[in-house]
Amino acid sequence: MATLQIAIDAPICTKKEFLRRTGMSSSTFDRQKDLGNIPVVPKQDTKGLIMVNMVKYMEKLAAQQV
């Protein structure tokens, strides 16, 4: 059985950085986030940055590859 290894340089990143890395549009991001496809870190207040949980995101993608 093959083992899959995924290297993540940071466990979380901002929405802006996520969009840069993936090439996804902001509206697509918002739609996917609302559908639960992109895991985000809960914000402390309403004006905080949207932070994407890259570990959970990569786990979801890896599970889809099986």
In total, how many domains does the chain have? 1
- Tell me if 2 is assigned to some domain: no
Mean pLDDT score across all residues of the chain: 91
Domain of residue 16 covers 12-64
Q: Is residue 3 part of a domain?
A: no
Instruction: Enter the tokens of residue 17.
Output: 């950085």
Give a yes or no: residue 6 inside a domain: no
Q: Looking at the domain assignment, is residue 1 inside a domain?
A: no
**pLDDT at residue 66 tops 80:** no
Which tokens sit at 28? 């697509």
Helix (H, G, I), strand (E, B) or coil at 33: helix
Q: In this structure, is residue 21 part of a structural domain?
A: yes
Supply the pTM of this predicted model. 0.83
Structure-block tokens of residue 16: 């802006």
